[in-house]
Chain A
Amino acid sequence: MHIPDGVLSPSTCAAAAAVMVPIWWTAARKLKTTLGAKQLPVLALGSAFCFTIMMFNVPAPGGTTAHPVAGTLLAILLGPWAAIIGVSTAIAIQALFFGDGGVLAYGANSFTMAFVLPMVGYAVYRLVAGKSSNASNRRALAAGVGSFVGINTAASIVGVLLGIQPLLFRDASGHPLYFPFGLNITVPSMLAAHLLLAGPAEAIVTAMVVRYMQRTGYTLYGCATEATADQNRSRRWESLWVGILAMIALSPLGLIAQGDAFGEWNAEDIRKVIFKVTGQSFVPKGMAHLQAMGYHPLSILQDYAQSGSSANVPGYIGAGILGVSSILVVVTILGRRLTKSEQAHYVHGEPNPSLTPSQSSGGLPIWLSASNSDEASHLSAGKNNPFLQRTLAELTSGTATALRADRWANQSGYLQTLNPAAKLAGFLVLLITAAVSHSLAVLAVLLIFANVAAYASGIPVGVLNRRVLLSAPLFVGGIAIPLMFSFASPGHPLVVLWHSPYVAVTTEGVSAFTLLILRVAATVAMAVLLTMSTPWHKLLAAMRSLKVPSIFVALMAMTYRYITVLLQTADDMFTARKSRTVGRVRDAEARRFVGNGIGVLFSKTLALTDEVVAAMTARGYTGEVKVVAQSVWQRKDKLWIACIFITAIALTLGEHYHG
């Protein structure tokens, strides 16, 4: 569900961030009053927990696996405000270190995964749970239903964000500037994947974790037994708040419900909706321009229909969805292959079945003293449980990435000698330049720059490029490939694949494809290069000196710190499970293991939180973050930032004038 950079227009990103700022602010204020000095450690460990379980794999129907998003779960356990901050922090670290989700798209990703998902999920949970007691089955069921609705709502909002891109942003000749496919494709494909696969997995796991926590006697958020009248009043206000925010979150869905066939809007419809929402009359310039030129939002499909055999539009929509989803699946599998081969050494580590007979005396139970080597030898340990392998492989590589992040950051090279704040600002400028660029030349220049800078800093160019290729573009690869063909980009045929129905690779298609891939690659390269050349603690200091609120920087710092602890714990848990796995693991059993595992991890997180709170208090922490002095900017740093600005402006202007 992570949107990478380069597929949303910068204005969409800015709008989403603008929506998130007051939400973060409200959440932070609420938490400050409820948690007091414990705020930082509780949220940091909550975020680290959230990050860790987002790395788990849950068996989903059809032999696939899905990652839990955990927002609803976090809201049920720690409250919706903590969930907003927790998931936001987790995806910030994913974006910075793992190339999962964009840096500019951070606001949009936060909106869907950290706001819509937990708020809607929690509201539905509260509705279904009613006044049932902390330990009731109804609450576990409510958790399942809530998380299911939450994840599907969030997925459709992602669909909306992607789908409005071609409606709002096209170039003079009618080609989409950013994401190419409309609502009629994005919303159904996002929904299909989540209704059928990720949603059920998320629901079952959430319900099971809640069940587990109920059994340990944990008090779910908002379930305190001795609530006084005063608390009740604030609770009521809180549910009102939750309701209002959930409605805001859901409002984009209203956009879809408008009209009888969504996706088939024209400028007039958009004007109506925009007027309704903002009270202002406005039509995206691009659209008015397009319609004057005779284009319609559905032009892609209409072209397809004209050149094809029949004019059955729903059929084409279906075909489009099917095509996009199947390509997504193929690319995802290929991606897994790539990641897997990197850790081939890890995946095979089956328990040794040939046990030596142990002493039968000495008070040992008799069954323990009998050898079971015959029995064990014909069991295919771990073969049929990809979820274990996959989770382990991902946890291991995640731990490795987190732990060895500053392998190159500490050597001496050009980028490493720059002031981190200057470097951060510079890369941000370059990232924005890449994200707004529509010129192959500009993007190529930026990519070449990234490679040269990496080379000058002793960072292996191969490693940089592999990280760029492995992270976000997989997502775009799936979406961009259909762009090459005539049904998505009608135009001059390059290779005709099929005559009836007509399918060809077009010149326009290839250039649209290359542009999208290069743009995403360039943005990812900037983020990756920044984190590869800067030690984490210096990056934090840089954020502070660029006036990022110190509580947020402290939260990121502590979250990252405890991600390493929790990842290790989770890794140990899965390894232990694997070493005790003999024979086939059924999906249901695997899901139960993940559910209980998350529960155990949460209990451990709680215990660790108490200890961290104690350790911080013992050293005089009272809730106020204090930091040591900052580093200064040198001539070299000013020179660097000046060069970056000049280059960025030159590239952007050059593109503007020369097309």
Chain B
Amino acid sequence: MASSDPSVAVLPLFKLTDVTFRYADGQVALNGISFAVRPGERVALLGANGCGKSTLLKILGGLQYPASGQVEGFGEPLTAARLDNEETAQIFRRRVGFVFQNSDAQLFSPTVADELAFGPVHMGLSAAEVEERVSSVAALTGIEHLLARAPFQISGGEKKRVALACTLATNPDVILMDEPTAALDPRAQTWLLDLLLKLHDVGKTFIIATHDLETVSQIADTVVVFREDHTIAAVLPASQLESNMKLLVQVNLVHDHLHRHGSTLHSHPHGHGVEHTHDHEEPPHQEV
């Protein structure tokens, strides 16, 4: 594992320098992004809709390449030229797993079992090894009862579980996740947080795009906060997030919530799920 090897641990796993990305229609999605990810670190990408989180994950996953700036993964530059080479691509893809925002895009096989087998089979494992991988990863994610089902016969939350399972099936070192908690019910969210902790304990690195303020401090050590102009507003430890409400208002992730207190209006930052209390002297507190 990367974390147990001190010589690797000092090198950043991913390093971005001044990365800018434009979509084909000229739409800027990332604007001069720089930050680094250490092995074993859990990073959350936090920002309003459309700020570029998914785009950044795709760049980290070697699925898109920036218009300018450098991206390094495992100490080597991530360029189209290098990843077009089948061998380097195979090694890289083996080490990096990706849970996409849209599960329907990720689950393209006729059955859940085929879906779990897809990665291992394309890695060249033997039939017996593939079978063993499929059954153990299904057990780990609690989807054994879904193995024979087709991806269109399962619910949104189940799809997310299957997507996570098929990513884990290739045993990647780094897991990129795009809004993993979005479709999950509260119990499943807790289950996911538990699983992520276990995976963290064995040294996996996570980079998770989210706007779920409630869970961010539990799934991440470091938070990268994006502005709506596709630049980075701050990179800070997750523990400092709550004391930085101003920043979150600035990047439009939380809104100035309007409350009516008797006849006076007052406003304060309000993010969903972040616990907050009202302290008002006068007039007496009475929400409508």
Chain A positions within 8 Å of B, measured between CB atoms, are 41, 44, 217, 402-403, 406, 410, 535-537, 540, 557-558, 560-562, 564-565, 608, 611-612, 614-622, 626-629
Residue B121, interface by CB 8 Å:
yes
Contact B114 A403 (CB under 8 A): no
In the complex, chain A residues whose CB is within 8 Å of the CB of B97: 618
Given contacts A406-B150, A615-B100, A627-B121, 15 further A-B contacts (CB under 8 A): A217-B25, A403-B153, A535-B148, A536-B110, A537-B114, A561-B151, A562-B108, A564-B152, A611-B100, A612-B108, A619-B119, A620-B90, A620-B123, A620-B170, A628-B114
Closest 5 A-B residue pairs measured CB to CB?
A611-B105, A564-B152, A620-B122, A537-B110, A619-B119
Report which of A44, A217, A565 forms a contact with B104, defined as CB distance below 8 A: A565
A560 engages B89 (CB within 8 Å)? no
On chain A, the residues within 8 Å of B114 by CB distance are: 537, 628
B118 contacts the other chain (CB 8 A)? yes
Enumerate chain A residues within 8 angstroms of B105, measured Cβ to Cβ.
Answer: 608, 611-612, 614-615
- Chain A residues contacting B94 (CB-CB under 8 Å) are 620
| B150 & A537 in contact (Cβ 8 Å cutoff) | yes
Task: Write out, one digit per residue, whether chain B residues 122-154 have a CB within 8 A of any chain A CB (1) or not (0).
Answer: 110001001100000000000000001011110
B106, A536: Cβ atoms closer than 8 Å: no
Shortest Cβ distance from A553 into chain B, in angstroms? 10
* Neighbouring A residues of B217 by C-beta, 8 Å: none
Known pairs A537-B150, A560-B110; A618 contacts B63 (CB<8 A): yes
A618-B98 in contact (CB<8A): yes
Does B104 lie within 8 Å of A618, measured CB to CB? no
Interface size of B as a range: 35 or more
Residue from A410, A620, A629 in contact with B93 in the complex, judged by beta carbons closer than 8 Å:
A620
* CB under 8 Å from chain A, chain B span 22-42: 25
What is the CB-to-nearest-CB distance from A640 to chain B, in angstroms, rounded to a whole number?
23
Cα separation A403 to B150 with both chains bound (whole Å): 9
CB distance from A550 to the nearest CB of B (A): 12
Cβ–Cβ contact A622 & B153, under 8 A: no
Give, as a whole number of angstroms, the nearest-CB distance from B83 to chain A. Answer: 9
Residue B96 is within 8 A (CB to CB) of chain A in the complex: yes
Jot down 8 A-B pairs with beta carbons below 8 A, ordered by A: A561-B150, A561-B151, A611-B100, A612-B108, A618-B96, A619-B119, A620-B170, A622-B90
Report the minimal beta-carbon distance from B120 to chain A, rounded to whole angstroms.
9
- A558-B108, A614-B100 known; A619 vs B150 contact (CB < 8 Å): no
Q: Within the assembled complex, what's the spacing in Å between the Cα atoms of A565 and B61? A: 25
Q: State which of B110, B118, B122 has its C-beta within 8 Å of the C-beta of A540.
A: B110
CA gap between A217 and B106 in the complex, in Å: 27
A410-B148, A561-B151, A628-B127 are known contacts. Are A614 and B122 too (CB-CB below 8 A)?
A: no
CB distance from B283 to the nearest CB of A (A): 22
State in angstroms the CA–CA spacing of A344 and B30 once bound together. Answer: 51
User: Which single member of A403, A618, A627 contacts B61 (CB below 8 Å)?
Assistant: A618
Q: How far is the CB of A411 from chain B (nearest CB, A)?
A: 13
Question: In whole Å, how far is A363's beta carbon from the nearest beta carbon of chain B?
Answer: 11
**B102 at interface (Cβ–Cβ under 8 A)?**
yes
Q: Are B152 and A41 closer than 8 Å at their CB atoms?
A: no
- A608 CA / B105 CA spacing, docked (Å): 6
CB distance from B255 to the nearest CB of A (A): 14
The answer to whether A619 touches B118, judged by C-beta atoms less than 8 angstroms apart, is: yes
Check B122 against A626 for contact (C-beta < 8 Å). Answer: yes
A565 touches B152 (CB 8 A): yes
Residues of B139-174 contacting chain A, CB below 8 A: 148, 150-153, 166-167, 170
Is B200 part of the binding interface, using a Cβ–Cβ cutoff of 8 Å?
no
- The docked-state distance in angstroms from the alpha carbon of A540 to that of B110 is 9
Report B-chain residues with C-beta under 8 Å of the C-beta of A540. 110
Tell me the B64-98 residues at the A interface (CB within 8 Å). Answer: 86, 89-90, 93-94, 96-98
Expressed in whole angstroms, the Cα–Cα distance for A608 and B150 within the complex equals 19
- With A537-B114, A618-B61, A628-B117 known as contacts, the answer to whether A557 contacts B109 (CB < 8 A) is yes
What's the Cα separation between A565 and B131 when bound, in Å? Answer: 28
Q: Contact flags (1/0) for B42-65 with A, using CB distance below 8 Å?
A: 000000000000000010010100
For B24, give the chain A residue with the smallest CB separation. A217
B61 proximity list for chain A (CB < 8 A)? 614, 618
Let me know if B111 is at the binding interface, CB within 8 A.
yes
Which B residue sits closest to A560, measured CB to CB?
A: B110
Contacts of A620 in B (CB 8 A): 90, 93-94, 119, 122-123, 170
Shortest CB distance B251–A (Å) = 23
How far is it, in angstroms, between the C-alpha of A484 and the C-alpha of B131 when the chains are bound?
Answer: 59
Q: Taking the nearest CB of chain A, how far is it from the CB of B151, in angstroms? A: 7
Known: A619-B170, A622-B86. A537 touches B111 (CB 8 A): yes
For A535, give the chain B residue with the smallest CB separation. Answer: B148
Q: Which residues of A contact B110 (CB under 8 A)?
A: 536-537, 540, 557, 560-561
